[in-house]
Chains A and B, each alone.
Chain A
Amino acid sequence: MPEVYKRDDGARDMDVDAVLRHARQIDPGFPREAISRYVSEIEQMADALQGIDPGGFDGLSAYSPAWETTRRAS
């Protein structure tokens, strides 16, 4: 697995060249600009997650105790 970070302080600034090398293991024909666009999208999403205090590891469930309050209210 190639290193895809340029920095080690989180999932930002992915290295497009590293991702491209990784992708070209699957298909040597992948164009750099397309990979660059995907990396840019992923970085934007990573940025949008900054500041969210992780809530734990029950993210697979749509249910939470807080919904019980909601159901009573509605």
Chain B
Amino acid sequence: MSAGDPLLQLSIREIAAGFRQGEWSPIDVTEAALRRIAATDADVHAWAEVAEASARESAAVAARELNSGVDRGPLHGMPLGIKDIFDVAGMPTRCGSRALAAAPPARQDAAPIASLRAAGAVVIGKTVTQEFAAGVISPPARNPWDPDRIPGGSSGGSAAAVMLGHCVGAMGSDTGGSIRIPAAACGAVGFKPTFGQIDHEGVYPLSWSLDTVGPIARTVDDAWLMWQILSGVNAPNDAPAASGADNLRGVRIGVARGFFFDGVQPGVLASVDAAIESLRELGATVIDAPWDNAAAARAAAFIINRVETAAVHDEYARNEPERFALYGDDLRLRIAAGRAIPATLYLRALRARAAIRDSMSRLFATHELGALLAPTLPTTAVLADELTLTGTGRDESIGAGWTRLTMPYNATGQPVLSLPSGFDQKGLPVGVQLAGAPGNERMLFRIGGALESALGLALVPPLAMTPRMEATR
């Protein structure tokens, strides 16, 4: 229990049980979340907009429903944060861009938000995103473990908010790693679902051939519960993340040596190696399973991403120069350069993607894998005023370096779960990613849950322990 709000350090199942046992109500949890935001958001700037009034209204409705016997399941009454590229009815979708500063309120919820609301979730507000979800820095959001550092991105506000108890879970999007990257940098759990699995109508696109949406949460089981609602697989009593001794016996886990372990900080490698050892102790069979097409997969995803991003923003770039001038310099350059990529290269990348995806499925079949393991990021969180990667032996920008290990899986489209594996010598969280087979997401959550339990990490940032403030902002 923390000195902050102990209620918001509980898992979704624990909070939900308290609702049904009359220990607390959705109103209590939402008020606690709003107090945490008031107490610590000035340090991390995780929120683009907090919808206090509508959150209180939703919480009151959720409480009344539960009192009258209407039970919408495990997310009923849970306060969630929504990345500001998702439409939320009554709130503007500004996408972290000055170009959309005057956006009108959305008329309806994006499809994933409608699913969450139907399950009784309470929308607390919109979390900070890198401009149009294109990047890994997420200004002005900062890292909950050290506010001098970045939270990662592009769903940086969502990961920071979750870790500080501003909400019990949050929505992110992942086109090149934007769920997994901030999850790893902030010590959260992030799940990139299989491409095409979750309807994302009403979510601002970055690259339509790669875009996915999914949950960021504090525990593997919390992410599982959110994913179940988002994907329509609603079996709340199924709990693959519940661990037990030796419960991974018979599970084969590949370690993607080579591409995914080169150019990685020693502190990250040590933490990931410790996680691998824990998996062995849990009874899993761990084997080396290098994937020869990883570099090509990253390249295909990179090219597709750049061309489609340019196409998404083409109208503004060509016909609305005054609006386009309000974009950040990096994104304007990226769009301008993306427009010049030859169509032949784009089509080659799309065609290569099919071959790359098939090579991954063969790797799984050959080794009978339940999951393929790799670090999520090559480094831990970097300082916001330096933005340089050190200790990797490579000269690369943070944008290239921090997507190097995540982007290959956007090319294959397979599901990937990122969870904390430990800390580096500076006390910053390290993430490990488990890639799985489409349709066998349950296996990832089973492995992730067992690993999470075995590691038993204390994942409450010191900032989350600051004393409670009674007033909300």
Contacts and interface: CB of A to CB of B under 8 A. Distances in A.
B242 to A, nearest CB: 19
Nearest to A67: B361
Contacts, number: 165
B21 interface: no
Contacts of B321: 26-27
Contacts of A5: 342
Contacts of B348: 11, 49, 54
Interface stretch (B144-152, B168-176, B179-187, B294-302): B294-302
A64 B197 CA distance: 14
A59 B368 contact: no
Interface string A26-66: 11001000110011011011111101111111111111101
Interface of B: 194-196, 209, 251-252, 293, 295-296, 298-300, 302-303, 306, 317-318, 321, 324-325, 332-337, 339-342, 344-345, 348-358, 361-362, 364-365, 368-370, 400, 412-414, 437-440, 443
22 contacts: A11-B342, A11-B348, A22-B339, A23-B333, A23-B340, A26-B317, A26-B318, A26-B335, A35-B336, A38-B333, A38-B334, A45-B298, A46-B303, A48-B296, A49-B348, A55-B351, A70-B361, A70-B365, A70-B440, A71-B437, A73-B364, A73-B369
A9 to B, nearest CB: 11
Interface residues on A, range: 35 or more
Contact of B341 (A18, A42, A51): A42
B109 to A, nearest CB: 25
Interface of A: 2, 4-5, 10-11, 14, 18-19, 22-23, 26-27, 30, 34-35, 38-39, 41-42, 44-49, 51-64, 66-67, 69-71, 73-74
Given A38-B337, A62-B413, A56 B351 contact: yes
A46 B350 contact: no
Contacts of B344: 10-11
B303 A45 contact: yes
A56 B298 CA distance: 18
Given A42-B303, A74-B437, A57 B337 contact: no
A52 B361 contact: no
Nearest to B335: A26
A52 B353 CA distance: 9
Which of A2, A35, A52, A53 has the most chain B CB atoms inside 10 A of its CB? A52
B299 A45 contact: yes
A32 to B, nearest CB: 11
B443 A35 contact: no
Given A56-B351, A70-B365, A62 B336 contact: no
Contacts of B414: 62
Contacts of A23: 333, 336-337, 339-340
B412 A62 contact: yes
Contacts of A74: 251-252, 364, 368-370, 437, 440, 443
Nearest to A35: B337
A59 B350 contact: yes
Given A19-B337, A41-B400, A61-B195, 6 more contacts: A26-B324, A45-B302, A52-B296, A54-B348, A64-B357, A74-B370
B231 to A, nearest CB: 13
A41 B342 CA distance: 14
B337 A55 contact: no
